[in-house]
Amino acid sequence: MTPLGAEITALIRHGGPIGIDRYMALCLGHPVHGYYRTRDPLGVKGDFTTAPEISQMFGELIGAWAGYIHGQRSQREPLILVELGPGRGTLMVDALRALRIAAPGADIRPHLVEISPVLRAVQERALAGTGATWHAGIETLPEGPAIILANEFFDCLPVRQFERHATGWHERQVGLGPEGDLVFGLAPEATPGLDADGPEGALLSVPGVGLGLMRLLAHRMREAGGALLAIDYGHVRPGFGDTLQALSGHRFADPLAAPGEADLTHHVDFAALANAAHTEGAIVHGPVAQRDFLLALGLNARAEHLKTRATAVQAAAVDSAVRRLTDGSRGGMGSLFKVLAVSGRDHGPLPGFPEA
């Protein structure tokens, strides 16, 4: 058992079973043993690889996107560019390079929201000299119109889960089995006030933290202007099913097997995020498939441009990255990942999204 597993076992022994949200929050964010507090999980040697780590083109296209949005506004205001959960800082580095070309002379102020001290140190090295500022949460971000980026961020925010029975929706919990091991169970009493429809046995995920965050950000967009770009794997239609998953060494793992040692994520419910933003009075763009978004932003043209100055090996790597980022087959990144933007009323249609 991992040290965090022992701590969670003691917690349950004293206080009873805990919700999936608390379990996720402990596994990922525990101050000492949390997954994101203790390691750099990205890349070939880590547990998963993200789009910015696959190719520089991903961040560059997003930088150009941000430049276009800034161009719709008064050129004199500073360009506050925020990233939530910036990983190794790769997306920000690539975006800034493209942004300096797309928005020449702009007063760019990068802000990074990160809970991991390990990743923050990696980001500080990558972004040295850019004037970037770090934050532990969105509360300390500067006011005013901002362009906010979030790639693979909403998927690691805690969710609650409920299972439908004749008596109502019962919260899914982590408790102790007969051997004292961690097991999934259900709260004996139904949760009052949850009136969603669903067949017997259906599993409902409620992304409370993510929805709360989206409401705050959408409110900010409506009041101060700006745009938020959220990219994640997830579904466009609400649905039932367990999408909580653990990844370790690029393979799926049992979410209860090694608390704090494996990444724990869930498929993002884009319908719920879009609805939360709309309710706050912001304008919602998409969601669209990552494949369509990147192709609309000119991924192929960018790839061709890179290839004009590339060796044969580099050119093959560019082609392979384009295929990976746009792979529309079942489970491929191009279709599994969705892109959602939320903007204030001062913006028209945004690049990469079909006009509503």
Considering the rule CB under 6 A, would residue 153 count as an interface residue with ligand SAH? yes
Contacting ligand SAH (CB under 6 A), which of 27, 42, 81, 262?
Answer: 42
Rule CB under 6 A: is residue 113 a binding residue for ligand SAH?
Answer: yes
Q: Is 114 in the site for ligand SAH (CB under 6 A)?
A: yes
For the bound state, the minimum distance from the C-beta of residue 186 to ligand SAH, rounded and expressed in Å, comes to: 27
What single letter denotes the amino acid at residue 2?
T
Per CB under 6 A, the list member of 17, 24, 27, 50 interacting with ligand SAH is 50
Beta carbons of 228 and 221 less than 8 angstroms apart: yes
Residue number, nearest CB to ligand SAH? 85
Amino acid present at 136: A
Q: For residues 54 and 318, what is the distance between their CA atoms, to the nearest angstrom? A: 9
| Binding of residue 141 to ligand SAH (CB under 6 A) | no
Closest CA to 96 of 142, 65, 134: 65
Q: CA separation (Å) from 231 to 15, 79, 286, 347?
A: 37, 21, 11, 20
CB-CB neighbours of 335 under 10 Å: 17
CA gap 278, 189 in Å, rounded: 33
When binding is defined by CB under 6 A, the residue of 4, 64, 156, 217 that contacts ligand SAH is 156
Binding to ligand SAH by residue 161, rule CB under 6 A? no
Minimum CB separation of residue 240 from ligand SAH in Å reads 25
The two tokens of residue 286 are: 């998409």
For ligand SAH, the binding residue among 86, 110, 287, 352 (CB under 6 A) is 86
Contact call for residue 85 and ligand SAH (CB under 6 A): yes
152 binds ligand SAH (CB under 6 A): yes
Specify the residue, 190 or 322, whose C-beta has the smaller distance to ligand SAH: 322
Residue 55 CB neighbour total at 10 angstroms: 23
Q: Which of 111, 147, 118 is nearest to 35 (CA)?
A: 118
Sketch the per residue contact string, 215 through 234, with ligand SAH: x for CB under 6 A, - otherwise.
--------------------
Helix and strand element counts for the chain (H, E): 13, 16
Least distance between ligand SAH and beta carbon 52 (Å): 5
Residues that bind ligand SAH (CB under 6 A): 28, 36, 42, 50, 52-53, 85-87, 91, 113-116, 119, 151-153, 156
